[in-house]
Structure 1
Amino acid sequence: MTPHPGRRRALRTCAAALLIAAAAGCGISTTGPVRAGAPASGIPQPGTETSSVRVYFTDPYGVRAVTRPTDAPLDPQHALDLLLKGPTPTERDRGLTTQVPPAINRLTATTTTGTVDISIPLQAAAGDIEFATVSQIVCTAAHARVPGGRPAAQVHIRIRGIDFGPEEPWTLRCGPNNTATSVK
């Protein structure tokens, strides 16, 4: 059985188009390198890294991490001290704020392997503290340098000073989307 003459013409046209496409390559010209501006930046060259710490603030969409450069890795106490100072002017210009109330003017953090104990010097009922406040504190402490080298999501944060009833201290982790997650 012989193909219809119109079909033969279509097959030839298709074959010719494929040959032309194959001969053209993938569009890479034969020119050499072209100057296109400064070299890529943003990732430090090996051996030139400085330390950084993550501090968690809020915006209309939730709790957000801010990475700040430091001279050395910071422990949870120093990271929480930065949190209490609030966002920098540049961070505020980006819409970041804090939900940590001014009454919480000091947080005390002590660390052991994989655990951070935080004392809040404010005897408040759990309903008086915003969830975003707890998430800011928990995630900032969890992402600091904690003995034991656990990933931040596995660091236990035990909070004292908020009346959680018989569950004091409240044990949390920094969970998905920068939210405090209870550890059972």
Structure 2
Amino acid sequence: MKRQLANVAVLLAFCSAGCGVGSAGPAPAGAPASGLHKGSVSPYARLYFVGPYGLRAAIREVDAPVTPQQALDLLLKGPDTAERARGLSSEVSPDHGRLIARAADGAVDLYLPVTVADMTGGGSLGLSQIICTMANADLPGGKRPPDVDVRVHEPSYATAWTVRCDAAGNVVPLPRS
């Protein structure tokens, strides 16, 4: 019994010794961390694909910042091998025609080759993939979601409608002005 109590006492003394931080306070350890600063251009493209539980972001390394059009072109190629292994797929079909994105004034105009209703599955997940991918591309002026307006132009409709991609990857319609 004495031996067990001695072992417990040693264990408690060892545990109460802490993690080696003394009471002298912090000591200088060198220069502060460096790297990308706020406003720096990211060497990654954020693409949105469909996962088992809804829309999921996939980060791809790129050589240079991507425009909304370049991001769409990457999206249309579909998920790569690693992304497919994560269970990601795409509802965006290149069979409908070319998607066109034009960035201006911190917003993006999306020109669809077909109506949203004609897109695969009624278009909701595919359209969300497109909108969130474009909104996360590098835009002039450095705007980032959820502050990027995406104006959707459908064939046969005279006026565009505006949406945004929020931080969670959800598409939110904006009221008509």
| TM-score (ref. length: structure 2) | 0.72
Amino acid paired to 2:141: G
Inter-partner Cα distance in structure 1 for 2:78 and 2:97: 11
Secondary structure of the equivalent of 1:140? helix
Structure 2: gaps (5+ residues): 1-8, 22-33
By how many angstroms is 1:23 displaced? 9.5
Inter-partner Cα distance in structure 1 for 2:167 and 2:42: 27
**Any residues of structure 2 matched to 1:20-169 within 5 Å, and which?**
24-26=16-18, 28=20, 46=35, 51-125=43-117, 129-161=122-154, 168-169=159-160
Inter-partner Cα distance in structure 2 for 1:159 and 1:92: 28
Check the 8 A contact 1:117/1:158 in 2, yes or no. Answer: yes
Inter-partner Cα distance in structure 1 for 2:93 and 2:99: 12
Q: Which residue of 1 aligns with 2:166?
A: 175
Q: Deviations over 1:99-129 (max 9, x none)?
A: 1134334210111011100111114537863
Check the 8 A contact 1:139/1:174 in 2, yes or no. Answer: yes
By how many angstroms is 1:89 displaced? 1.6
Q: Which residue of 1 aligns with 2:27?
A: none
Report the number of matched residues.
148
Greater Cα radius of gyration, structure 1 or 2? 1
Q: Which ranges of 4 or more aligned residues in structure 1 deviate by more than 6 Å? A: none
Check the 8 A contact 1:135/1:179 in 2, yes or no. Answer: yes
Inter-partner Cα distance in structure 1 for 2:42 and 2:167: 27
The structure with the greater share of residues assigned to strand is 1
